[in-house]
Amino acid sequence: MLSSFFEFLTDGFAFLQLVLFESVVQPIAFFIGAGNLLDIAYEGTGWLMVGIVQIMVMVLVIAPLEKWKPAEPLVSPNAVKVDVIYTLIHRLGLFKLLMFFTFENLLETAFGMLRVQGLPTFNLDAVWPGVTDTAVVSFVIYLVVFDAVNYFIHRGQHQFNAWWALHSLHHSQRQMTMWTDNRNHLLDDIITALVLSVVAKLIGVGPGQFVALVAIGQLSENFQHANIKCSFGWLGDRLWVSPRFHRLHHSVGMGHESAGRQTLGGHNFGVLFPWWDMMFGTANFSNRYDPTGVRDQVENGRDYGQGFWAQQKLGLTRLFSKYPQS
């Protein structure tokens, strides 16, 4: 029954995607002379639909929860506005469009050449025919695999000085809200997107499955970053990442240091599941709601920028300078 419901949702989404593509996107593509890019336009239509649904859920569900039970008072509304811009860039498909026409196109070409050279096609969901290839089971398998990959990506962002120089922008938000999730340096996002795209191709994730995996992950991350005083209880916090669990990851010092000042590392790197943190000794389940930010920003007044372009420029400045760890 669950499998039938899952298929009903995917079929309904595919139908709406086709309708929007044929009635709006395709005519625009022909009008601007981009008829040779219809495949990309069709996939982009799916991402646009997902983004619109995500924003609706954020505004109609998560935003009221932030007002109902905030973890801290919203004292700097202006600090949140730039995070809204980041979210719109990602959820309305602008970042994906950039990836389509640059790196993902190169990736498709590279994998095509490797297939010609004999690289075998592998589908993880075909390991146990009749079980792993059912819609729900295959989706869960891919969800777990992607979350494990995301955990190690996230640890890498906190482990290497150059990567932290970029990722620290995400942690520089001292007024965390549901919009904070996409507050990242574009180069940091490109690296993450490329790694996940390579993994998707290596294990045989279909385009539709990939969209669904990313969509669920993003929406959960919006809730995790939300300004909500919320945990899932002793057991729940160990099954799914809660706002309290992730807020500890953003706490000054605790979230980005393993051994005090001038060290890298931190705690609570899990994106969806806290299992990886529990397995590798990086979990912290303290019942606390600490101030967020980066230590050198809070204690030394380091400037991470206020506007979008200032934040992107300062990220590159940190990358190519001797950036202190914390």
Q: What is the pLDDT of residues 247-268, one digit of tens each?
A: 999 999 888 888 777 788 999 9
pLDDT of residue 253: 82
Number of independent structural domains in the chain: 1
Q: What residues make up the domain containing 30?
A: 2-319
pLDDT of residue 172: 96
What does the pLDDT look like over 265-318, one tens digit per residue? 999 999 999 999 999 999 999 999 999 999 999 999 999 999 999 999 999 999
pLDDT of residue 150: 97
Residue 35 confidence (pLDDT) above 90: no
176 occurs within a structural domain: yes
123 occurs within a structural domain: yes
324 occurs within a structural domain: no
- The larger pLDDT score, comparing residue 139 to residue 315, is at 315
114 occurs within a structural domain: yes
pLDDT of residue 101: 75
In this prediction the pTM is 0.91
248 occurs within a structural domain: yes
What does the DSSP assignment read for 33-95? Answer: T-GGGHHHHHHHHHHHHHHHHHHHHIIIIIHHHHHHS-SS----HHHHHHHHHHHHHHHTTHH
Rounded Cα distance, 238 and 247, in Å: 15
- What are φ and ψ of residue 292, in 5° steps? -110, 160
pLDDT of residue 111: 80
326 occurs within a structural domain: no
* 191 to 182, 234, 297: CA distances (angstroms): 14, 34, 25
325 occurs within a structural domain: no
pLDDT of residue 274: 98
Residue 211 confidence (pLDDT) above 80: yes
